[in-house]
A and B are shown apart, each in its own frame.
Chain A
Protein backbone atom coordinates (compact mmCIF):
# COMPACT_ATOMS: atom_id res chain seq x y z
CA UNK A 1 0.00 0.00 0.00
CA UNK A 2 1.46 3.31 -0.94
CA UNK A 3 1.61 6.33 1.31
CA UNK A 4 0.30 8.83 -1.15
CA UNK A 5 -2.85 8.75 -3.19
CA UNK A 6 -4.96 11.43 -4.79
CA UNK A 7 -8.13 10.03 -3.28
CA UNK A 8 -6.66 10.60 0.20
CA UNK A 9 -5.84 14.18 -0.75
CA UNK A 10 -9.44 14.61 -1.91
CA UNK A 11 -10.77 13.42 1.45
CA UNK A 12 -8.36 15.73 3.29
CA UNK A 13 -9.24 18.70 1.05
CA UNK A 14 -11.97 20.25 3.28
CA UNK A 15 -9.63 20.46 6.27
CA UNK A 16 -6.71 21.60 4.11
CA UNK A 17 -8.73 24.40 2.52
CA UNK A 18 -9.80 25.85 5.85
CA UNK A 19 -6.36 25.43 7.47
CA UNK A 20 -4.59 27.02 4.49
CA UNK A 21 -7.10 29.86 4.52
CA UNK A 22 -6.30 30.44 8.19
CA UNK A 23 -2.54 30.41 7.61
CA UNK A 24 -2.85 32.81 4.66
CA UNK A 25 -5.08 35.15 6.69
CA UNK A 26 -2.44 35.24 9.44
CA UNK A 27 0.30 35.97 6.90
CA UNK A 28 -1.71 38.74 5.25
CA UNK A 29 -2.25 40.35 8.62
CA UNK A 30 1.45 40.11 9.44
CA UNK A 31 2.88 41.21 6.09
CA UNK A 32 0.48 43.70 4.55
CA UNK A 33 -0.03 47.19 5.97
CA UNK A 34 -2.93 47.56 8.35
CA UNK A 35 -4.87 49.68 5.86
CA UNK A 36 -5.09 46.71 3.51
CA UNK A 37 -8.72 46.41 4.45
CA UNK A 38 -10.46 44.50 7.17
CA UNK A 39 -13.51 44.05 4.99
CA UNK A 40 -11.72 42.11 2.28
CA UNK A 41 -10.16 39.84 4.92
CA UNK A 42 -13.59 39.17 6.40
CA UNK A 43 -15.04 38.22 3.03
CA UNK A 44 -12.01 36.08 2.22
CA UNK A 45 -12.54 34.29 5.54
CA UNK A 46 -16.23 33.66 4.91
CA UNK A 47 -15.42 32.59 1.34
CA UNK A 48 -12.84 30.10 2.58
CA UNK A 49 -15.33 28.62 5.01
CA UNK A 50 -18.01 28.34 2.31
CA UNK A 51 -15.49 26.64 0.03
CA UNK A 52 -14.57 24.30 2.89
CA UNK A 53 -18.27 23.58 3.36
CA UNK A 54 -18.74 22.68 -0.31
CA UNK A 55 -15.65 20.48 -0.19
CA UNK A 56 -17.02 18.79 2.94
CA UNK A 57 -20.31 17.98 1.23
CA UNK A 58 -18.58 16.66 -1.89
CA UNK A 59 -15.64 14.80 -0.40
CA UNK A 60 -17.19 13.38 2.77
CA UNK A 61 -20.64 12.32 1.53
CA UNK A 62 -19.50 8.75 0.84
CA UNK A 63 -19.59 6.83 4.12
CA UNK A 64 -16.50 4.86 4.98
CA UNK A 65 -13.14 4.73 6.72
CA UNK A 66 -10.60 6.71 4.72
CA UNK A 67 -6.93 7.76 4.63
CA UNK A 68 -5.44 4.57 6.11
CA UNK A 69 -8.07 4.57 8.84
CA UNK A 70 -7.47 8.12 10.03
CA UNK A 71 -10.81 9.63 9.04
CA UNK A 72 -14.34 8.30 8.92
CA UNK A 73 -16.54 10.14 6.46
CA UNK A 74 -20.28 10.04 5.99
CA UNK A 75 -23.39 11.96 7.04
CA UNK A 76 -22.27 12.24 10.69
CA UNK A 77 -19.06 14.07 9.77
CA UNK A 78 -20.81 16.16 7.10
CA UNK A 79 -23.59 17.18 9.48
CA UNK A 80 -21.34 18.29 12.33
CA UNK A 81 -18.74 19.66 9.89
CA UNK A 82 -21.35 21.95 8.37
CA UNK A 83 -22.57 22.99 11.81
CA UNK A 84 -19.09 24.08 12.94
CA UNK A 85 -18.23 25.70 9.59
CA UNK A 86 -21.56 27.53 9.49
CA UNK A 87 -21.12 28.75 13.06
CA UNK A 88 -17.60 29.92 12.28
CA UNK A 89 -18.64 31.66 9.05
CA UNK A 90 -21.38 33.62 10.81
CA UNK A 91 -19.04 34.62 13.63
CA UNK A 92 -16.37 35.75 11.15
CA UNK A 93 -18.99 37.74 9.28
CA UNK A 94 -20.23 39.75 12.25
CA UNK A 95 -16.76 40.42 13.59
CA UNK A 96 -16.08 43.07 10.97
CA UNK A 97 -18.46 45.77 12.16
CA UNK A 98 -17.63 44.89 15.75
CA UNK A 99 -13.98 45.68 15.12
CA UNK A 100 -14.87 49.10 13.78
CA UNK A 101 -17.32 49.89 16.58
CA UNK A 102 -14.83 48.81 19.23
CA UNK A 103 -11.77 50.34 17.56
CA UNK A 104 -10.38 46.82 17.85
CA UNK A 105 -7.42 46.46 15.54
CA UNK A 106 -6.38 42.83 15.83
CA UNK A 107 -7.01 41.18 12.48
CA UNK A 108 -5.12 38.02 13.42
CA UNK A 109 -8.22 36.65 14.94
CA UNK A 110 -9.83 35.84 11.61
CA UNK A 111 -6.86 33.60 10.90
CA UNK A 112 -7.07 32.01 14.34
CA UNK A 113 -10.80 31.36 13.92
CA UNK A 114 -10.16 29.62 10.63
CA UNK A 115 -7.41 27.47 12.15
CA UNK A 116 -9.69 26.49 15.01
CA UNK A 117 -12.43 25.68 12.49
CA UNK A 118 -10.00 23.44 10.60
CA UNK A 119 -9.31 21.64 13.87
CA UNK A 120 -13.02 21.14 14.53
CA UNK A 121 -13.61 19.86 11.02
CA UNK A 122 -10.76 17.39 11.48
CA UNK A 123 -12.18 16.46 14.88
CA UNK A 124 -15.67 15.50 13.72
CA UNK A 125 -14.22 13.05 11.17
CA UNK A 126 -11.18 11.79 13.10
CA UNK A 127 -11.01 8.01 13.45
CA UNK A 128 -7.74 7.38 15.25
CA UNK A 129 -6.45 8.65 18.56
CA UNK A 130 -3.51 10.51 17.01
CA UNK A 131 -5.70 12.46 14.58
CA UNK A 132 -8.27 13.02 17.30
CA UNK A 133 -5.69 14.51 19.65
CA UNK A 134 -4.08 16.74 17.02
CA UNK A 135 -7.50 17.97 15.93
CA UNK A 136 -8.59 18.58 19.52
CA UNK A 137 -5.53 20.73 20.18
CA UNK A 138 -5.77 22.50 16.83
CA UNK A 139 -9.25 23.51 17.93
CA UNK A 140 -8.28 24.47 21.48
CA UNK A 141 -5.04 26.42 21.14
CA UNK A 142 -6.28 29.19 18.79
CA UNK A 143 -9.33 29.70 20.99
CA UNK A 144 -7.17 30.39 24.08
CA UNK A 145 -5.39 33.09 22.10
CA UNK A 146 -8.71 34.43 20.76
CA UNK A 147 -10.04 34.98 24.28
CA UNK A 148 -6.99 37.10 25.07
CA UNK A 149 -7.13 38.94 21.73
CA UNK A 150 -8.36 42.27 23.06
CA UNK A 151 -5.35 43.22 25.13
CA UNK A 152 -6.79 46.61 26.06
CA UNK A 153 -9.35 44.97 28.31
CA UNK A 154 -8.23 43.97 31.75
CA UNK A 155 -10.58 41.02 32.05
CA UNK A 156 -9.49 39.50 28.71
CA UNK A 157 -6.18 38.08 29.90
CA UNK A 158 -7.66 36.86 33.17
CA UNK A 159 -10.48 35.02 31.38
CA UNK A 160 -7.99 33.59 28.89
CA UNK A 161 -5.64 32.38 31.63
CA UNK A 162 -8.42 30.60 33.50
CA UNK A 163 -9.62 29.03 30.26
CA UNK A 164 -6.08 28.02 29.33
CA UNK A 165 -5.19 26.37 32.63
CA UNK A 166 -8.42 24.39 32.82
CA UNK A 167 -8.34 23.63 29.11
CA UNK A 168 -4.77 22.35 29.21
CA UNK A 169 -5.66 20.29 32.27
CA UNK A 170 -8.65 18.86 30.39
CA UNK A 171 -6.45 18.02 27.40
CA UNK A 172 -4.00 16.17 29.62
CA UNK A 173 -6.82 14.19 31.26
CA UNK A 174 -8.29 13.41 27.84
CA UNK A 175 -4.90 12.25 26.55
CA UNK A 176 -4.48 10.01 29.59
CA UNK A 177 -7.87 8.56 28.73
CA UNK A 178 -6.66 7.97 25.15
CA UNK A 179 -3.56 6.21 26.46
CA UNK A 180 -5.62 3.86 28.63
CA UNK A 181 -8.10 3.27 25.81
CA UNK A 182 -5.17 2.31 23.59
CA UNK A 183 -3.87 0.10 26.35
CA UNK A 184 -7.23 -1.58 26.87
CA UNK A 185 -7.97 -2.27 23.21
CA UNK A 186 -4.55 -2.46 21.60
CA UNK A 187 -5.55 -0.25 18.70
CA UNK A 188 -5.61 3.47 18.02
CA UNK A 189 -8.46 3.15 15.51
CA UNK A 190 -11.85 4.06 16.93
CA UNK A 191 -13.83 1.83 14.55
CA UNK A 192 -11.76 -1.20 15.57
CA UNK A 193 -12.14 -0.63 19.31
CA UNK A 194 -15.60 -2.12 20.05
CA UNK A 195 -14.57 -5.45 18.55
CA UNK A 196 -11.25 -5.56 20.38
CA UNK A 197 -11.31 -7.68 23.49
CA UNK A 198 -9.87 -5.72 26.34
CA UNK A 199 -9.38 -5.35 30.03
CA UNK A 200 -12.78 -4.05 31.22
CA UNK A 201 -11.38 -2.20 34.21
CA UNK A 202 -8.81 -0.36 32.11
CA UNK A 203 -11.52 0.52 29.62
CA UNK A 204 -13.73 1.91 32.37
CA UNK A 205 -10.89 4.03 33.76
CA UNK A 206 -10.19 5.28 30.23
CA UNK A 207 -13.84 6.21 29.74
CA UNK A 208 -13.92 8.05 33.06
CA UNK A 209 -10.91 10.17 32.07
CA UNK A 210 -12.27 10.84 28.59
CA UNK A 211 -15.58 11.83 30.11
CA UNK A 212 -13.92 14.36 32.44
CA UNK A 213 -11.87 15.84 29.59
CA UNK A 214 -14.89 16.17 27.31
CA UNK A 215 -17.09 17.49 30.13
CA UNK A 216 -14.66 20.40 30.57
CA UNK A 217 -14.88 21.32 26.91
CA UNK A 218 -18.66 21.11 26.65
CA UNK A 219 -18.99 22.98 29.95
CA UNK A 220 -20.86 20.41 32.03
CA UNK A 221 -21.20 21.05 35.76
CA UNK A 222 -18.99 20.62 37.87
CA UNK A 223 -16.40 21.36 35.16
CA UNK A 224 -17.97 24.65 34.07
CA UNK A 225 -16.11 27.17 36.26
CA UNK A 226 -14.15 28.68 33.38
CA UNK A 227 -17.15 29.38 31.16
CA UNK A 228 -18.57 32.62 32.55
CA UNK A 229 -15.14 34.21 33.02
CA UNK A 230 -13.78 33.17 29.64
CA UNK A 231 -17.00 34.25 27.92
CA UNK A 232 -16.96 37.61 29.64
CA UNK A 233 -13.27 38.22 28.99
CA UNK A 234 -13.41 37.34 25.29
CA UNK A 235 -14.50 39.91 22.68
CA UNK A 236 -18.22 39.39 21.96
CA UNK A 237 -17.36 38.42 18.38
CA UNK A 238 -15.31 35.50 19.75
CA UNK A 239 -17.66 34.48 22.56
CA UNK A 240 -20.39 33.41 20.15
CA UNK A 241 -17.88 31.28 18.26
CA UNK A 242 -16.74 29.58 21.47
CA UNK A 243 -20.28 29.00 22.62
CA UNK A 244 -21.43 27.16 19.52
CA UNK A 245 -18.61 25.72 17.44
CA UNK A 246 -16.30 24.53 20.23
CA UNK A 247 -19.24 22.97 22.05
CA UNK A 248 -20.52 21.12 18.97
CA UNK A 249 -17.05 19.75 18.23
CA UNK A 250 -16.52 18.71 21.85
CA UNK A 251 -19.80 16.80 21.81
CA UNK A 252 -18.54 15.05 18.67
CA UNK A 253 -15.51 13.79 20.64
CA UNK A 254 -17.72 12.57 23.45
CA UNK A 255 -20.04 10.74 21.06
CA UNK A 256 -17.25 9.16 19.02
CA UNK A 257 -15.48 7.85 22.11
CA UNK A 258 -18.68 6.47 23.59
CA UNK A 259 -19.29 4.73 20.28
CA UNK A 260 -15.74 3.41 20.37
CA UNK A 261 -16.31 2.03 23.86
CA UNK A 262 -18.92 -0.31 22.38
CA UNK A 263 -21.19 0.26 25.37
CA UNK A 264 -24.04 2.07 23.59
CA UNK A 265 -27.23 0.06 23.60
CA UNK A 266 -25.64 -2.81 25.53
CA UNK A 267 -26.15 -3.97 29.10
CA UNK A 268 -23.97 -5.02 31.97
CA UNK A 269 -21.93 -3.56 34.78
CA UNK A 270 -19.75 -1.11 32.77
CA UNK A 271 -22.77 0.10 30.89
CA UNK A 272 -24.64 0.80 34.09
CA UNK A 273 -21.74 2.71 35.67
CA UNK A 274 -21.21 4.93 32.62
CA UNK A 275 -24.95 5.55 32.25
CA UNK A 276 -25.27 6.58 35.87
CA UNK A 277 -22.31 8.94 35.69
CA UNK A 278 -23.74 10.60 32.58
CA UNK A 279 -27.15 10.75 34.23
CA UNK A 280 -25.77 12.61 37.25
CA UNK A 281 -23.73 14.91 34.99
CA UNK A 282 -26.84 15.82 32.98
CA UNK A 283 -28.96 16.33 36.08
CA UNK A 284 -26.46 18.59 37.87
CA UNK A 285 -25.73 20.57 34.70
CA UNK A 286 -29.43 21.18 34.05
CA UNK A 287 -30.11 22.37 37.58
CA UNK A 288 -26.99 24.47 38.16
CA UNK A 289 -26.99 26.08 34.70
CA UNK A 290 -30.61 27.14 34.88
CA UNK A 291 -30.59 28.29 38.50
CA UNK A 292 -27.39 30.34 38.21
CA UNK A 293 -28.66 31.95 34.99
CA UNK A 294 -31.51 33.44 37.03
CA UNK A 295 -29.10 35.62 39.00
CA UNK A 296 -27.31 37.18 36.03
CA UNK A 297 -27.68 40.85 35.13
CA UNK A 298 -24.93 40.95 32.49
CA UNK A 299 -26.18 39.76 29.09
CA UNK A 300 -22.93 38.00 28.17
CA UNK A 301 -22.84 36.09 31.44
CA UNK A 302 -26.53 35.27 31.05
CA UNK A 303 -25.77 33.69 27.69
CA UNK A 304 -22.81 31.86 29.27
CA UNK A 305 -25.02 30.23 31.90
CA UNK A 306 -27.67 29.61 29.27
CA UNK A 307 -24.96 27.75 27.36
CA UNK A 308 -24.26 25.59 30.42
CA UNK A 309 -27.97 24.85 30.78
CA UNK A 310 -28.12 23.81 27.12
CA UNK A 311 -25.16 21.50 27.63
CA UNK A 312 -27.43 19.84 30.18
CA UNK A 313 -30.23 19.39 27.64
CA UNK A 314 -27.76 18.03 25.08
CA UNK A 315 -26.40 15.58 27.67
CA UNK A 316 -29.96 14.28 27.93
CA UNK A 317 -29.44 12.98 24.39
CA UNK A 318 -26.16 11.33 25.38
CA UNK A 319 -27.79 9.62 28.37
CA UNK A 320 -30.67 8.44 26.17
CA UNK A 321 -28.13 7.12 23.66
CA UNK A 322 -26.76 4.73 26.29
CA UNK A 323 -30.01 2.76 26.02
CA UNK A 324 -31.28 3.80 22.59
CA UNK A 325 -28.29 4.97 20.54
CA UNK A 326 -30.06 5.92 17.34
CA UNK A 327 -32.81 8.14 18.72
CA UNK A 328 -30.58 9.72 21.38
CA UNK A 329 -27.70 10.66 19.10
CA UNK A 330 -29.88 11.86 16.23
CA UNK A 331 -31.78 14.13 18.64
CA UNK A 332 -28.44 15.36 20.00
CA UNK A 333 -27.14 16.22 16.52
CA UNK A 334 -30.31 18.08 15.61
CA UNK A 335 -30.17 19.94 18.91
CA UNK A 336 -26.56 21.01 18.35
CA UNK A 337 -27.51 22.47 14.96
CA UNK A 338 -30.51 24.29 16.45
CA UNK A 339 -28.43 25.54 19.39
CA UNK A 340 -25.82 26.90 16.98
CA UNK A 341 -28.38 28.97 15.07
CA UNK A 342 -30.26 30.40 18.04
CA UNK A 343 -27.23 31.16 20.19
CA UNK A 344 -25.35 32.86 17.36
CA UNK A 345 -28.44 35.02 16.77
CA UNK A 346 -28.41 36.16 20.40
CA UNK A 347 -24.68 36.88 20.23
CA UNK A 348 -25.19 38.81 16.97
CA UNK A 349 -27.38 41.23 18.92
CA UNK A 350 -24.69 41.56 21.58
CA UNK A 351 -22.15 42.24 18.82
CA UNK A 352 -24.21 44.74 16.88
CA UNK A 353 -25.03 46.82 19.93
CA UNK A 354 -21.34 47.43 20.63
CA UNK A 355 -20.69 51.12 20.10
CA UNK A 356 -17.84 53.53 20.62
CA UNK A 357 -15.40 51.12 22.13
CA UNK A 358 -17.89 49.64 24.58
CA UNK A 359 -19.79 46.37 24.55
CA UNK A 360 -23.33 46.02 25.76
CA UNK A 361 -23.14 45.11 29.44
CA UNK A 362 -26.29 44.95 31.53
CA UNK A 363 -29.56 43.52 30.26
CA UNK A 364 -31.22 46.86 31.17
CA UNK A 365 -29.27 48.51 28.37
CA UNK A 366 -31.52 46.71 25.88
CA UNK A 367 -34.35 49.05 26.93
CA UNK A 368 -36.20 50.69 24.09
CA UNK A 369 -34.66 48.48 21.41
CA UNK A 370 -38.15 47.37 20.34
CA UNK A 371 -39.04 50.93 19.36
CA UNK A 372 -35.67 52.02 18.01
CA UNK A 373 -34.86 48.88 16.00
CA UNK A 374 -37.99 46.74 15.66
CA UNK A 375 -36.40 44.17 13.36
CA UNK A 376 -33.36 43.63 15.56
CA UNK A 377 -35.63 43.25 18.57
CA UNK A 378 -37.78 40.79 16.63
CA UNK A 379 -34.76 38.69 15.66
CA UNK A 380 -33.51 38.67 19.25
CA UNK A 381 -36.97 37.64 20.45
CA UNK A 382 -37.08 34.73 18.01
CA UNK A 383 -33.69 33.50 19.22
CA UNK A 384 -34.49 33.86 22.93
CA UNK A 385 -37.88 32.20 22.55
CA UNK A 386 -36.18 29.37 20.69
CA UNK A 387 -33.59 28.99 23.45
CA UNK A 388 -36.53 28.75 25.81
CA UNK A 389 -38.17 26.15 23.59
CA UNK A 390 -41.42 27.59 22.29
CA UNK A 391 -42.98 26.35 19.03
CA UNK A 392 -42.55 26.85 16.09
CA UNK A 393 -38.81 27.26 16.60
CA UNK A 394 -35.93 24.81 16.20
CA UNK A 395 -35.26 25.01 19.93
CA UNK A 396 -38.71 23.56 20.63
CA UNK A 397 -38.37 20.65 18.20
CA UNK A 398 -34.87 19.93 19.47
CA UNK A 399 -36.01 19.76 23.08
CA UNK A 400 -39.04 17.71 22.10
CA UNK A 401 -36.90 15.06 20.41
CA UNK A 402 -34.37 15.01 23.26
CA UNK A 403 -37.15 14.56 25.83
CA UNK A 404 -38.81 11.92 23.67
CA UNK A 405 -35.56 9.97 23.23
CA UNK A 406 -34.89 10.09 26.97
CA UNK A 407 -38.45 8.99 27.77
CA UNK A 408 -38.26 6.06 25.36
CA UNK A 409 -34.97 5.09 26.95
CA UNK A 410 -36.69 5.07 30.33
CA UNK A 411 -35.17 8.13 32.02
CA UNK A 412 -38.48 9.63 33.12
CA UNK A 413 -37.09 11.34 36.22
CA UNK A 414 -34.42 13.16 34.23
CA UNK A 415 -37.01 14.39 31.72
CA UNK A 416 -39.19 15.71 34.54
CA UNK A 417 -36.21 17.66 35.91
CA UNK A 418 -35.41 18.97 32.43
CA UNK A 419 -39.01 20.12 31.99
CA UNK A 420 -38.96 21.87 35.37
CA UNK A 421 -35.65 23.50 34.48
CA UNK A 422 -37.23 24.78 31.27
CA UNK A 423 -40.01 26.37 33.31
CA UNK A 424 -37.36 28.09 35.44
CA UNK A 425 -35.69 29.37 32.28
CA UNK A 426 -38.88 31.20 31.22
CA UNK A 427 -37.88 34.01 33.58
CA UNK A 428 -34.39 34.66 32.35
CA UNK A 429 -35.14 34.26 28.65
CA UNK A 430 -38.23 36.44 28.66
CA UNK A 431 -36.80 39.16 30.92
CA UNK A 432 -34.58 40.59 28.12
CA UNK A 433 -37.59 40.49 25.79
CA UNK A 434 -39.70 42.46 28.27
CA UNK A 435 -36.87 44.97 28.71
CA UNK A 436 -36.52 45.41 24.93
CA UNK A 437 -40.18 46.25 24.45
CA UNK A 438 -40.52 48.58 27.43
CA UNK A 439 -38.66 51.67 28.49
CA UNK A 440 -36.78 54.07 26.26
CA UNK A 441 -33.29 53.97 24.87
CA UNK A 442 -30.78 56.17 26.64
CA UNK A 443 -28.91 56.83 23.42
CA UNK A 444 -29.57 56.30 19.72
CA UNK A 445 -28.76 52.74 18.70
CA UNK A 446 -26.21 52.29 15.96
CA UNK A 447 -25.99 48.93 14.26
CA UNK A 448 -24.06 47.61 11.31
CA UNK A 449 -25.08 45.60 8.29
CA UNK A 450 -22.96 42.45 8.71
CA UNK A 451 -24.28 41.65 12.18
CA UNK A 452 -27.86 42.40 11.08
CA UNK A 453 -27.35 39.91 8.26
CA UNK A 454 -26.05 37.30 10.73
CA UNK A 455 -29.02 37.92 13.01
CA UNK A 456 -31.43 37.56 10.09
CA UNK A 457 -29.77 34.33 8.94
CA UNK A 458 -29.68 32.87 12.45
CA UNK A 459 -33.27 33.80 13.28
CA UNK A 460 -34.42 32.58 9.87
CA UNK A 461 -32.61 29.27 10.33
CA UNK A 462 -34.15 28.93 13.79
CA UNK A 463 -37.67 29.38 12.40
CA UNK A 464 -37.11 27.22 9.31
CA UNK A 465 -35.48 24.50 11.38
CA UNK A 466 -38.50 24.54 13.65
CA UNK A 467 -41.06 24.39 10.87
CA UNK A 468 -39.33 21.89 8.55
CA UNK A 469 -37.16 19.78 10.85
CA UNK A 470 -37.72 16.42 9.14
CA UNK A 471 -34.95 16.43 6.53
CA UNK A 472 -32.27 17.56 8.97
CA UNK A 473 -33.27 14.93 11.52
CA UNK A 474 -33.37 12.13 8.94
CA UNK A 475 -29.90 13.05 7.72
CA UNK A 476 -28.56 13.05 11.30
CA UNK A 477 -30.27 9.72 11.95
CA UNK A 478 -28.68 8.17 8.85
CA UNK A 479 -25.26 9.41 9.95
CA UNK A 480 -25.71 7.86 13.38
CA UNK A 481 -26.95 4.56 11.92
CA UNK A 482 -23.95 4.33 9.61
CA UNK A 483 -21.55 4.99 12.48
CA UNK A 484 -23.29 2.41 14.65
CA UNK A 485 -23.15 -0.09 11.81
CA UNK A 486 -19.45 0.52 11.31
CA UNK A 487 -18.70 0.36 15.00
Chain B
Protein backbone atom coordinates (compact mmCIF):
# COMPACT_ATOMS: atom_id res chain seq x y z
CA UNK B 1 0.00 0.00 0.00
CA UNK B 2 1.32 3.41 -0.90
CA UNK B 3 0.93 6.19 1.61
CA UNK B 4 1.04 9.59 -0.04
CA UNK B 5 3.47 12.29 1.07
CA UNK B 6 0.78 14.83 2.04
CA UNK B 7 -0.83 12.42 4.49
CA UNK B 8 2.54 11.70 6.09
CA UNK B 9 3.18 15.42 6.41
CA UNK B 10 -0.28 15.97 7.87
CA UNK B 11 0.34 13.30 10.52
CA UNK B 12 3.67 14.92 11.30
CA UNK B 13 2.12 18.38 11.61
CA UNK B 14 -0.66 17.13 13.90
CA UNK B 15 1.82 15.31 16.17
CA UNK B 16 4.04 18.38 16.27
CA UNK B 17 1.08 20.59 17.18
CA UNK B 18 0.09 18.25 20.01
CA UNK B 19 3.68 18.32 21.26
CA UNK B 20 3.79 22.11 21.07
CA UNK B 21 0.55 22.36 22.99
CA UNK B 22 1.97 20.00 25.62
CA UNK B 23 5.11 22.10 26.11
CA UNK B 24 3.20 25.36 26.34
CA UNK B 25 0.13 24.34 28.32
CA UNK B 26 1.03 21.51 30.69
CA UNK B 27 2.35 22.24 34.17
CA UNK B 28 3.90 18.89 34.99
CA UNK B 29 7.51 19.11 33.83
CA UNK B 30 7.72 15.36 33.17
CA UNK B 31 4.80 15.71 30.78
CA UNK B 32 6.57 18.68 29.20
CA UNK B 33 9.62 16.48 28.57
CA UNK B 34 7.34 13.89 26.97
CA UNK B 35 5.80 16.59 24.80
CA UNK B 36 9.26 17.63 23.56
CA UNK B 37 9.90 14.00 22.65
CA UNK B 38 6.64 13.96 20.75
CA UNK B 39 7.74 17.04 18.79
CA UNK B 40 11.04 15.40 17.85
CA UNK B 41 9.27 12.24 16.76
CA UNK B 42 6.81 14.24 14.69
CA UNK B 43 9.82 15.65 12.86
CA UNK B 44 11.14 12.11 12.36
CA UNK B 45 7.90 11.16 10.65
CA UNK B 46 8.25 14.09 8.25
CA UNK B 47 11.91 13.31 7.56
CA UNK B 48 11.23 9.67 6.83
CA UNK B 49 8.35 10.64 4.56
CA UNK B 50 10.46 13.10 2.57
CA UNK B 51 13.31 10.66 2.37
CA UNK B 52 11.09 7.96 0.90
CA UNK B 53 9.59 10.48 -1.48
CA UNK B 54 13.02 11.48 -2.83
CA UNK B 55 14.26 7.90 -3.00
CA UNK B 56 11.49 7.21 -5.48
CA UNK B 57 8.85 5.45 -3.45
CA UNK B 58 10.72 2.39 -2.20
CA UNK B 59 12.93 2.46 0.87
CA UNK B 60 15.76 0.84 -1.09
CA UNK B 61 15.35 2.99 -4.20
CA UNK B 62 18.41 4.89 -5.38
CA UNK B 63 20.67 3.55 -2.66
CA UNK B 64 23.14 1.63 -4.77
CA UNK B 65 26.70 2.87 -4.88
CA UNK B 66 27.24 3.26 -1.15
CA UNK B 67 29.35 5.94 0.47
CA UNK B 68 28.38 9.57 -0.08
CA UNK B 69 25.79 8.59 -2.68
CA UNK B 70 23.97 6.64 0.01
CA UNK B 71 23.96 9.69 2.27
CA UNK B 72 22.71 11.88 -0.54
CA UNK B 73 19.77 9.63 -1.29
CA UNK B 74 18.85 8.91 2.30
CA UNK B 75 19.93 12.06 4.11
CA UNK B 76 16.55 12.34 5.76
CA UNK B 77 16.73 8.83 7.14
CA UNK B 78 20.21 9.44 8.52
CA UNK B 79 18.90 12.57 10.21
CA UNK B 80 16.09 10.49 11.77
CA UNK B 81 18.60 8.09 13.35
CA UNK B 82 20.72 10.97 14.60
CA UNK B 83 17.74 12.79 16.01
CA UNK B 84 16.66 9.69 17.96
CA UNK B 85 20.11 9.47 19.55
CA UNK B 86 20.10 13.20 20.31
CA UNK B 87 16.61 12.98 21.83
CA UNK B 88 17.85 10.30 24.22
CA UNK B 89 20.77 12.51 25.29
CA UNK B 90 18.45 15.45 25.71
CA UNK B 91 16.11 13.52 27.98
CA UNK B 92 19.04 12.32 30.09
CA UNK B 93 20.16 15.91 30.71
CA UNK B 94 16.59 17.10 31.26
CA UNK B 95 15.76 14.44 33.82
CA UNK B 96 19.03 15.12 35.67
CA UNK B 97 18.13 18.80 35.94
CA UNK B 98 14.61 17.85 36.99
CA UNK B 99 15.97 15.66 39.81
CA UNK B 100 18.22 18.50 41.00
CA UNK B 101 15.20 20.77 40.98
CA UNK B 102 13.01 18.24 42.77
CA UNK B 103 15.55 18.01 45.61
CA UNK B 104 15.05 21.72 46.29
CA UNK B 105 11.32 22.05 45.70
CA UNK B 106 9.79 18.60 46.30
CA UNK B 107 7.70 19.24 43.22
CA UNK B 108 7.78 18.80 39.46
CA UNK B 109 5.04 21.32 38.71
CA UNK B 110 6.13 24.43 36.81
CA UNK B 111 4.01 26.94 38.84
CA UNK B 112 6.24 26.07 41.81
CA UNK B 113 9.27 27.31 39.90
CA UNK B 114 8.56 31.01 39.87
CA UNK B 115 11.19 32.43 42.21
CA UNK B 116 13.17 34.01 39.40
CA UNK B 117 11.28 36.68 37.54
CA UNK B 118 11.99 36.78 33.81
Q: A186 and B54 in contact (CB under 8 A), knowing A165-B23, A176-B43? A: yes
Report A116-140 residues with CB < 8 Å from chain B CB.
128-130, 133-134, 137
Name the interface residues of B47-95: CB closer than 8 Å to any CB of A: 47, 50, 53-54, 67-68, 71-72, 75-76, 78-79, 82-83, 86, 89-90, 93-94
Query: Are A168 and B94 also in contact (CB < 8 A) when A137-B89, A148-B100, A228-B118 are?
Result: yes
**A145-B96 CB under 8 A given contacts A130-B75, A130-B78, A133-B86:** yes
Complex formed: what's the CA distance from A226 to B97 in Å? 15
Q: A396 an interface residue at 8 Å Cβ cutoff?
A: no
A172 touches which of B19, B75, B118 (Cβ 8 Å): B19
- State A35–B38 Cα separation when bound (angstroms): 44
A63, CB-defined interface residue at 8 Å:
no
Q: Is the CB of B115 within 8 A of A68?
A: no
Q: How far is the CA of A25 from the CA of B37 in the complex (A)?
A: 30
The CA-CA distance from A96 to B54 in the complex, in Å, is 52
Chain B residues within 8 Å of A, Cβ to Cβ: 9, 12, 16, 19-20, 23, 29, 32-33, 36, 39-40, 42-43, 46-47, 50, 53-54, 67-68, 71-72, 75-76, 78-79, 82-83, 86, 89-90, 93-94, 96-98, 100-101, 103-104, 113, 115-118
> Is there a chain B Cβ closer than 8 Å to A469's Cβ?
no
A227 — nearest CB in chain B belongs to which residue? B118
- A-B CB proximity, top 3 nearest: A188-B75, A172-B39, A157-B101
Q: Is the CB of B86 within 8 A of A137?
A: yes
Instruction: Return the contact of B94 from the options A129, A137, A164, A182 (Cβ within 8 A).
Output: A164
Is A151 in the interface zone, CB < 8 Å from B?
A: yes
Q: Is the interface of B mostly helix, strand, loop or mixed?
A: helix
Q: List chain B residues, Cβ under 8 A from A422.
A: none
Q: How large is the interface on A (under 10, 10 to 19, 20 to 34, 35 or more residues)?
A: 35 or more
Q: Which residues of B have CB within 8 Å of A188?
A: 71-72, 75-76, 78-79
CB distance from B114 to the nearest CB of A (A): 8
B118 A169 Cβ-Cβ under 8 A: no
Q: Is the CB of A179 within 8 A of B76?
A: yes
From residue B100, how far is it (CB to closest CB) to chain A in Å? 4
Which of A145, A156, A172, A182 interacts with B47 by CB under 8 Å?
A182
A232 at the binding interface (Cβ < 8 Å): yes
B36 touches A134 (CB 8 A): no
Asked whether, in the complex, the Cβ of B36 is within 8 Å of the Cβ of A168, the reply is: yes
CB–CB A165/B46 < 8 A:
no
Query: Which residues 132-163 of A have a CB within 8 angstroms of B?
Result: 133-134, 137, 141, 144-145, 148, 151, 154-162
* Interchain CB contact under 8 A, B68 and A229: no
Q: List the B side residues contacting A3 at CB < 8 Å.
A: 67
Q: Which of A179, A187, A225 contacts B43 (CB 8 A)?
A: A179
Complex Cα–Cα for A171 and B12 (A): 16
> Distance in Å from the Cβ of B89 to the closest Cβ of chain A?
6
| B39-A229 in contact (CB<8A) | no
Report the bound CA distance from A229 to B42 in whole Å.
30
A225 cross-chain contacts in B, Cβ below 8 A: 118
CB nearest neighbor in B for A149: B100
**A349 contacts the other chain (Cβ, under 8 Å)?**
no
